[in-house]
Structure 1
Amino acid sequence: MMMRYANLDGVENKKTFKDMRKWQKERKAKVKDLTSQIEQSPVKKITEINENRSKTTYTWIGHSTFLIQLNGMNILTDPVWAKRMGFQKRLTAPGIALEDIPEIDVVVISHGHYDHLDFPTLKKVKGNPHYYVPAGLKSLFLKKGYQNVTELNWWDSAENQGISIHFVPAQHWTRRSLNDMNTSHWGGWIFQNEKETLYFVGDTGYFSGFKQIADRFEIDTVFMPIGAYEPEWFMAVSHINPEDSIKAFLELRAKTFVPMHYGAYRLADDTGPEALARLYRAWENQQLPKEQLKVLLLGETIGHFKEDLFV
């Protein structure tokens, strides 16, 4: 009997084939401007990130992929450099080419959907990374030939070179084939050292788990999804919209908000610029401090503290 994983509070994604057809009809009736896309950073710190052994930085590659440098380690979140996702071409090029990324020490996977777990990308990642994956996914990694794999369930943790790595809940689902619906888990990843705590949310709808996470961790920076929410009657269970992402950020009591999961692939009907505009508008409406919102251009690298910034 295969293990089937579930969300907190019994929340399920119960959309049917009929719902899917309804969405397809709605999409045909919508005209979206795809000529405007998220911009590339005019400055790419490729040399600096390859030489960095001490500074805390993060670089947005695109979608949910970040290069995080912490404790002298190079961490990749949900590495996906794929040029296509299903029938859709990638809308924006990765911010930094895969061959320009340094050797990787740690890779974390939020869940098994193809826009978050891309084995053709993993084959090309430099180094011999340790893979941290949700419960239920290790067997697939072993089948693919990866041996350095640690599988965690919600609230489990592991240690790696002075960093505590925690797997925390998200509200989502997963599937890679006809018969493996929710046979592996989904969630976010928290990285802690003595100075700071970074939270990579993964893929999620808005849910009560944010408050639970805030009760256990003091978050400095949160990498928060804001896209793939439209139509909301179809997507809301699994994809958070920009307004609710701010609500989650406030519940987390985090210091810095870094948006992600927008602009790279057309997974839903919203566009990257639309998601970002809604985020800016909601941020201003709530009169939140501008310095707490860090919107990165593709390939942009910033440090975590003022003394860590590359100059």
Structure 2
Amino acid sequence: MKKYVNLDNVTSNKSFSDMRKWQKERRTKVKDLSVNIEQCPTKKVTEINENRNCTSFTWIGHSTFLIQLNGMNILTDPVWAKRMGFQKRLTEPGISLADLPEIDLVVISHGHYDHLDFPTLKKLKGNPHYFVPVGLKSLFTRKGYQKVTEMSWWENAEVKEITLHFVPAQHWTRRSLTDMNTSHWGGWIFQTPLETFYFVGDTGYFNGFKQIAERFKVGTVFMPIGAYEPEWFMADAHISPEDSVKAFLDLKAKLFVPMHYGAYRLADDTGPEALDRLYREWEKQQLPGEQLKVLLLGETVIETGK
């Protein structure tokens, strides 16, 4: 069975003793889990259901966004799961599944359960076309999904005047004891003549950001910032807030929208800690405030004048 790898053959393999060391460290830390990312008080549910013309994006939570582009409703890594393993979800999704419009297109970054949740997919309205990393289509087919396209790094597809590109990330994947890295992982770029969105997926900091910048003029980047602590354990697969800013600069992008924090306790950091470190690094690098858009859960940005 084919096994997929990272650029430069970077691995995220951790030993049993590494796991023991992390668990021992974790017991010494006291974290305040009572402060969580807030819900947006003014959600635009009616507007996104009626929108057919404007470009918009809405943060549902974790790595899930609803992107409206060229009249299409697109979801990234749709996960409405109330639990992840033994951990209860810390924040409710910003928009309920029932309040979503019909979905045309779904992209999956990789097979980890906090990014690929079949119970969620079953409840989506519409008949979406799924775009998945190479190696994952067979799983979708076994579960009865027909409209599935799998792609390798740097491949692209045209969907209603949107060019969809699958680009590298530095990560790994597994859904069972026997399928470690038998499918790939990556990010998705949505390119139109007017704008380019880059959904990074799940990644450590890597040279791939510079390679992506050589090929694309990125406008808005949906960038992970959480699940980085302890960094000696997580850094190969999960980017820290400081390195996410470095990646943003590598990309020469216009707008940074943070994600992958505050919903599930996948590591030792908390959502507010991740945001605090992001703000401090942004200030340290003296970057313009208008280039950072931190969303509340369920918050929608509607672009006009496109």
Same fold (TM over 0.5): yes
Q: Distance in 2 between matches of 1:29 and 1:291?
A: 38
Q: Distance in 2 between matches of 1:13 and 1:280?
A: 28
Q: Distance in 1 between matches of 2:305 and 2:281?
A: 30
Give the aligned partner of residue 262 of structure 2: 263
Mapping of residues 17-166 of structure 1, within 5 Å: 17-166=16-165
Mapping of residues 175-186 of structure 1, within 5 Å: 175-186=174-185
Give the aligned partner of residue 307 of structure 1: 305
**Deviation by residue 1:145-179 (Cα, 9 ceiling, x = unmatched):** 00000000000000111100000000000000000
Give the aligned partner of residue 204 of structure 1: 203
> Matched residue of 2:301: which SS?
strand
- Which residue identity does 1:248 align to in structure 2? A
Give the aligned partner of residue 241 of structure 2: 242
> Matched residue of 1:307: which SS?
coil
Is structure 2 residue 4 aligned with structure 1 residue 5?
A: yes
Q: TM-score, normalised by structure 2?
A: 0.99
Q: TM-score, normalised by structure 1?
A: 0.98
- Residue 194 of structure 1: CA displacement? 1.1
> Matched residue of 1:302: which SS?
strand
Q: Show structure 1 runs of 5+ residues with no match.
A: none
- Residue 307 of structure 1: CA displacement? 3.4
Aligned residues: 306
Give the aligned partner of residue 218 of structure 1: 217
**Deviation by residue 1:23-81 (Cα, 9 ceiling, x = unmatched):** 11111110100010000000110000000001000000000000000000000000000
Give the aligned partner of residue 277 of structure 1: 276
**Deviation by residue 1:262-300 (Cα, 9 ceiling, x = unmatched):** 000000000000000000000011110000000000000
RMSD (Å), alpha carbons: 0.7
**Deviation by residue 1:238-280 (Cα, 9 ceiling, x = unmatched):** 0000000000000000000000000000000000000000000
Q: Distance in 1 between matches of 2:243 and 2:176?
A: 30
- Which residue identity does 2:260 align to in structure 1? H
Give the aligned partner of residue 290 of structure 1: 289
> Matched residue of 2:305: which SS?
helix
- Residue 143 of structure 1: CA displacement? 0.3
Give the aligned partner of residue 192 of structure 2: 193
Identity over aligned pairs, percent:
78
Q: Show structure 2 runs of 5+ residues with no match.
A: none
Give the aligned partner of residue 16 of structure 1: 15
> Matched residue of 2:91: which SS?
coil
- Which residue identity does 2:251 align to in structure 1? L
Give the aligned partner of residue 232 of structure 1: 231
- Residue 303 of structure 1: CA displacement? 2.2
- Residue 14 of structure 1: CA displacement? 2.2
> Matched residue of 1:189: which SS?
strand
> Matched residue of 1:26: which SS?
helix
Q: Distance in 1 between matches of 2:193 and 2:131?
A: 21
> Matched residue of 2:111: which SS?
coil
Q: Distance in 2 between matches of 1:187 and 1:40?
A: 28
